[in-house]
Amino acid sequence: MPNPAREPTFLPLTMAAANDADDDGARAVRSRAESADRAAADCWLSLVAGCTSGGQTLINRLHDLSEATSDYAGSRWWSGRGSVHRRRVAAAEHRIDDAVREGDGAEFAEAFVGYDQAVATVVVHVQKRLGKLST
């Protein structure tokens, strides 16, 4: 039986940030993050084993998470004040894609840290804007 404490986790900041709000947008981000996290764990195992499977599924799940994050942030903020965050999310997503295609496990892990941090930062900004976090 798998031990959840021993399962690899790639999006802990994002999932924690999405848990801090109880609204439809945060729930959508959390759901997509869980799906992307499972795909990342599968892809990681493939990378470690020297296989090339699972990459496209992961990229699709990351795109879904980025899209849910964009929806949660709102197009006005995402395109305006949040554009720096939008670029960070996109760049990190691209970096993960490159690492998967190159089979580079170290780059994969490092890129995921950046992606998780970028998405979680957006979620926290949205929650602050909506007054859902106590300061």
Mean pLDDT rounded to a whole number for the chain: 90
Residue from 60, 26, 24, 29 nearest 42 by CA:
60
Residue 13 covered by a domain: no
**Number of folded domains in the chain?**
1
Q: Can you give the residue range of the structural domain that contains 67?
A: 22-129
Query: Per-residue pLDDT tens for 46-91?
Result: 888 887 777 899 999 999 999 999 999 999 999 999 999 999 999 9
Residue 93 covered by a domain: yes
CATH number at residue 47: 1.20.120
What is the pLDDT, as a whole number, of residue 22? 80
Q: Considering only 19-23, 39-43, 64-68, which range has the smallest mean pLDDT?
A: 19-23
Residue 119 covered by a domain: yes
What is the pLDDT, as a whole number, of residue 5? 52
DSSP 4: G
Residue 8 has pLDDT above 80, yes or no: no
Backbone angles phi, psi at 127, to 5 degrees: -65, -40
